[in-house]
Structure 1
């Protein structure tokens, strides 16, 4: 999986994202909450207009919200909202800012980052992209350019019925061999 430091040696957009995050001071301001890059940029399926996602852990969401208002409230496009979570989810705070050409979304829950749904989805998506190679990156990008969200695009390619967000979490419970074997049989395009 790609970390913030790995973005520095990634493709051109990943390097730009890295420099944007470093230059903005966002990572330093959020350091106590272990900001972790997630979403489409780290796994190289972003399209023009994609945002940079940062996942954070915040034991106290009220204190986190106070911090981001204090530290980021003056930044371009600042918006912040709280959510009570959905079925099976924990409450969260989402803040958005614009840094240079990048919209940045900061998402915090009391849940450790490695157990947050966005992180788990990204791990499964990364594993599938490693199996599919360039053909998978191209297929998912094409769907995203048509307006598809990431998880529904993966579900479509795999012929998954039902809620794509829940189904991606289900796939995450499988070991690597089972996931890859199943994906080889169910992927709707040719790869390798």
Structure 2
């Protein structure tokens, strides 16, 4: 959360909303972690403010969320099972001020959750691309693409973009950088990448 508190204007505003609404206090026992596009500065108008949580007892988590946040605007909470590994999760959506918020909880440490792994890879790539990369991802998102498909398009990835980004998340920073620099789709950012090596 310190990253948001010291970030750009939208990040600081997101942090303010979470603090003033006491959402962070409600989630404190579940190690709330900001994820998605806002922390890595590729959010666009209408982007969700995503918060990952680790909840070993999803029933108790859902009960607490309904009790403490159920009066929020546009509140909706649902249970699901992730395709692939069958892991259960809870998602809760609501709105505070102009921010749509989504809380995602699993009985999985946050650093092992797919959303965290996607964001980590995306952040590493953005560090290579610089401002040009941020602009291109935002452009693709404004055209209607979700975040992971936007990255997959720039990377020239084939197959399911969510799965492919998880594969990249298993690589070291050096392996990811070396591979990324060889991709033809990176040519528009080549001068930026060379400056950052």
Interval of TM-score (by shorter of Structure 1 and Structure 2): over 0.9
1:106 aligns with 2:103: yes
Cα gap change, 1:187 to 1:12, in 2 (>3 Å): farther
Determine the C-alpha separation between the residues in 2 that align with 1:5 and 1:154: 26
- Where does 1:38-57 land on structure 2 (aligned, <5 Å)? 38-57=35-54
Determine the C-alpha separation between the residues in 2 that align with 1:29 and 1:8: 18
Determine the C-alpha separation between the residues in 2 that align with 1:187 and 1:32: 45
TM-score normalised by structure 2 residue count: 0.94
SS at the partner of 2:85? coil
Cα gap change, 1:33 to 1:47, in 2 (>3 Å): same
Determine the C-alpha separation between the residues in 2 that align with 1:136 and 1:187: 14
SS at the partner of 1:79? strand
Aligned to 1:149: 146
User: Any conservation in 2 of the 1:76–1:99 contact (CA below 8 Å)?
Assistant: yes
Q: Deviations over 1:100-155 (max 9, x none)?
A: 11000000000011100000000000000001000110000000000100000001
Aligned to 1:9: 6
Aligned to 1:175: 172
Bigger mean CA deviation after superposition, 4-13 or 145-154: 4-13
User: Any conservation in 2 of the 1:120–1:172 contact (CA below 8 Å)?
Assistant: yes
Q: Deviations over 1:35-66 (max 9, x none)?
A: 10000000000000001000000000000000
Determine the C-alpha separation between the residues in 2 that align with 1:175 and 1:84: 29
Unpaired runs of 5+ in structure 1? none
Q: How far is 1:89 from its partner?
A: 4.6
1:91 pairs with one of 88, 97, 107: 88
Give the aligned length: 189
Aligned to 2:195: none
TM-score normalised by structure 1 residue count: 0.96
User: Any conservation in 2 of the 1:157–1:187 contact (CA below 8 Å)?
Assistant: no
Unpaired runs of 5+ in structure 2? 193-197
User: Which runs of structure 1 show a deviation greater than 6 angstroms over 4 or more consecutive aligned residues?
Assistant: none
